Structure 1
Amino acid sequence: MDNPFADPRTLRRMIVVFGFAGFSGALAGRALDPLMAELALDFAAPHERVALLASAFALPYALVQPVLGPIGDAFGKRRVVLLCIGLLAVTLALCALAPGLDGLFAARIAAGLAAGGIFPLTLALFGDSVPMAQRQVAISRVLACAILGQLAGGAVSGGIAPLVGWRGVMWVCAAAAALSWAVLWRDARRQPAAAPPGPAPSPAEVARRYRAILANPRAHPLYGGVFIEGMLVFGPMPFLAVLLGQDGHGTLRAGIAIAAFGLGGFGYALLAAFLLRAIGQAAMMRLAGGLVALGMTATALAWGLERPWAGIGGSFLIGLGFFMLHNSIQVRVTEVAPLARGSAVALHAFSYFLGQSAGPGVFGLAMALAGAVPALLAAGLGVLAVSLWLSLAPATQPNRT
């Protein structure tokens, strides 16, 4: 493939522009997590119901992927990302204006649909443009921006909510998305998408593409593994205020824990190039699973021994391991179907966010049936098993779809 990034400044600019979009999407997705206890009080609703606001964002994000992937392949990934970040700004404003819990659920669903076209298509765009030898490091830089969004989603919302309320937090998220749209729009005028618009894919063509992608047996572990990973890692997130707040200070600690999760991921982004050179991708995936298992164990101890600050350190380890594993899966997915990369990455995002959307319900049920400690330990062991499974799978061989 011809590399359009012979000038490193062009690649750096693209990382900044799309990284800001990824930051805004991640900020919107995680900003309410530390505020679930406050939302439950505000709307006089059970915590278990309010916690499903996380699924209200993640499930539409997943379900829209099979539609947005082929649209991005046909009309240009950059164009679709620009449209989606603009819609995200609007829907986040609607979240801030929601008159009740049902309205907030509806606006979060719309925000999840809009956010679904940002990072997955950005990932596919980098797959189109960056050679495989450099791709994991380049994607890790964009991922670092999304991780900063995760970090801000916990730290900023947990810190400023006492001053501006959860509605103020939503306005901050809307402003970040609007600014990201302006940056991306300006860059699009400066450097239009390389691929010309194509015809709208027919349903039969979309189905043919997905059948071809799924015909690649080496893709199956990637899609199945990322579903389980998303479910097990993000299932406990909406319950952090409960898990770390036995003395009544759960909201602040939950915000710090989510920030620590993001900080762990940012640490991975800084270490990615070194780890790839030193131990290689497969060993890095196994290390990642071990770190997540260790972090879940620390969080279990935080609950079982009433040592809430152990959960903060555990969240850091979970973030470090999760992003290490997830980024490796992302890079392998970009080679599943090079000629329909948007569709292949969309299927990956569909699987991942479907797992995320199932996570809170599954973890809540496991915690009710077995208790918090067994549920957390099982989640850690599950991610470790996934990392071993994927690390033993051979690198993906593409279908020339």
Structure 2
Amino acid sequence: MTPTDPEAQSIRRLIAMFALTGFATSLIIRVTDPLVAVIADDLTTPVGTVALLASSFALPFALIQPLLGPVGDALGKRRVILVCQVLLTLLVAAAAMAPDFTTLLIFRALAGAAAGGTMPLTLAVFGDEVPLARRQVAIGRFLVFTIIGGVAGGALAAVVEPLFGWRGVLWICAGFSAMASCVRLWSQLRAPPAPTQSFQPVMALQRYVGLFRLPAARVLYAAVAIEGGLVFGAFPHFAPLLAARGLGGTTEAGLSLAAFGCGGFIYAAIVAQVLRLMGQANMVRLGGFLAFLALLGMALAWSAAIFIGCALLLGTGFFMIHNTIQVRASEISPTARASGLAMHSFSFFIGQTAGPALMGVALALLGSTLAFIWVAAALLALGWWLSVTGPGTKKEHGG
């Protein structure tokens, strides 16, 4: 994309317009993962129970998708994003004031439902407004801001929690979401009114039935659910696992999550070049291999530095796989893109919901070393499967 290219300028404006939305929402999604131990201690709740905060956010995020996708198609994606961002701000602030774990869990779950109307519909907006030939690079660059949010979530927990406690961390998250709400409102007031149509549940249901009749849709939704479960299922267990090995605790877990996000920076920096040189199919295969090496390293890590370094590699491989699935999902149903991407997010967060519990079972039965090796092998297989079950030529998906 050249600086004088009008289409490139339009894409850059689109990325800038949604940057804070991506940052704030991603900040909120992952911020409680490294806080599990301190929340458990403060609210006198078992660590295993507090680890369910990840699932309590992911499950409502997933379950709201089949509703919000068609609503976005009918009432306007940008309008729905604004309403959900405002609700997300209020609910995170309420969670920061929760007097007990049950209340915290409820507000965290409601916040997950509100967040479900921000990120997936934002990707649908990109699908509507960015040509396919430039979409993977454009979404990859937008992902930089979501990655920064994920990195900041881990870093914020590691740095701010010792000073202001976990409640202070959540208040800062609410502040960023409030800023995103203001940007979205300003953009909405300046834009011409979006066309609307009535929301028809029967037609929405028929649309979903049609989606699942498409072989490509079934492959992508299954793949993203598996990916979400394998990668994110381990995150809430980082702090207890590091502590058990004598390698650290909340701070090291937060730094590991930050390093995972930094792997996304590496991906965003190289995605255009990798697509030109390798094509999409080989890139997703490479992503699976990098994730395999990373998790194998985590399984055998004897120092916190090695564990954190492997998290960086894991992030790079993950985004190679995940961004490819996102781009393919954006083309499943161009006439009902919000619905198609809503089902993509539904599948992804269903995987994230089941992941922590399944990883907990694997750790109990196999021990940390074998559990991480099993996840490594599964991600290697997933990357290979995706590379042979869909389009991915350099010509089709180059930058």
Alignment of 1:213-252 (within 5 A): 213-245=211-243, 246-247=245-246, 249-252=248-251
Instruction: Indicate conservation of the 8 Å contact 1:301/1:310, yes or no.
Output: no
Alpha-carbon shift at residue 248 of structure 1 (Å): 6.8
Structure 2 residue identity aligned to 1:27 = L
Change (3 A) 1:42 1:248: farther
Alpha-carbon shift at residue 46 of structure 1 (Å): 1.4
Instruction: Indicate conservation of the 8 Å contact 1:24/1:176, yes or no.
Output: yes
Structure 2 residue identity aligned to 1:341 = R
- Does residue 45 of the first structure (1) align with residue 33 of the second (2)? no
Alpha-carbon shift at residue 43 of structure 1 (Å): 1.6
Tell me what 1:112 maps to.
112
Tell me what 1:387 maps to.
383
Tell me what 1:204 maps to.
202
Tell me what 1:276 maps to.
275
| Cα deviation 1:259-306 (Å, max 9, x = unaligned) | 00000011101111111111110000000001111111111112xxx3
Tell me what 1:185 maps to.
185
- Secondary structure of the 2:102 match is helix
Q: Which runs of 5+ in 1 are unaligned?
A: 397-401
CA RMSD of aligned residues (A): 1.3
Instruction: Indicate conservation of the 8 Å contact 1:301/1:307, yes or no.
Output: no
Alignment of 1:171-182 (within 5 A): 171-182=171-182
Structure 1 residue identity aligned to 2:215 = P
Change (3 A) 1:247 1:12: same
- Secondary structure of the 2:6 match is coil
| Cα deviation 1:102-139 (Å, max 9, x = unaligned) | 00000100110000011111111110111100000111
- Does residue 60 of the first structure (1) align with residue 60 of the second (2)? yes
Tell me what 1:169 maps to.
169
Structure 1 residue identity aligned to 2:132 = M
Distance 1:158 1:17 in 2: 29
Distance 1:89 1:13 in 2: 24
Report which stretch shifted further, 177-186 or 37-46: 37-46
For normalisation by structure 2, the TM-score amounts to 0.95
Change (3 A) 1:9 1:189: farther
Tell me what 1:11 maps to.
11
Alpha-carbon shift at residue 79 of structure 1 (Å): 0.6
Structure 1 residue identity aligned to 2:298 = T
Tell me what 2:252 maps to.
253
Instruction: Indicate conservation of the 8 Å contact 2:248/2:304, yes or no.
Output: no
Structure 2 residue identity aligned to 1:340 = A
Distance 1:378 1:249 in 2: 24
Tell me what 2:338 maps to.
342
Tell me what 1:136 maps to.
136
Alignment of 1:290-305 (within 5 A): 290-302=289-301
Structure 2 residue identity aligned to 1:346 = A
Structure 2 residue identity aligned to 1:56 = S
1:371 corresponds, among 348, 367, 373, to 367
Distance 2:331 2:275 in 1: 18
Alignment of 1:313-328 (within 5 A): 313-328=309-324
Distance 2:240 2:349 in 1: 23
Instruction: Indicate conservation of the 8 Å contact 2:247/2:303, yes or no.
Output: no
Alpha-carbon shift at residue 33 of structure 1 (Å): 0.9
- Secondary structure of the 1:117 match is coil
Identity of matched residues, %: 47
- Does residue 357 of the first structure (1) align with residue 356 of the second (2)? no
Instruction: Indicate conservation of the 8 Å contact 2:239/2:252, yes or no.
Output: yes
Distance 1:124 1:248 in 2: 41
Distance 1:215 1:7 in 2: 34
- Secondary structure of the 2:45 match is coil
Distance 2:74 2:271 in 1: 32
Distance 1:221 1:7 in 2: 32
Aligned length, in residue pairs: 387
Alpha-carbon shift at residue 191 of structure 1 (Å): 2.1
Distance 1:337 1:32 in 2: 34
Tell me what 1:23 maps to.
23
Distance 1:266 1:172 in 2: 23
Instruction: Indicate conservation of the 8 Å contact 1:37/1:251, yes or no.
Output: yes
Instruction: Indicate conservation of the 8 Å contact 1:147/1:262, yes or no.
Output: yes
- Secondary structure of the 2:337 match is helix
Structure 2 residue identity aligned to 1:356 = Q
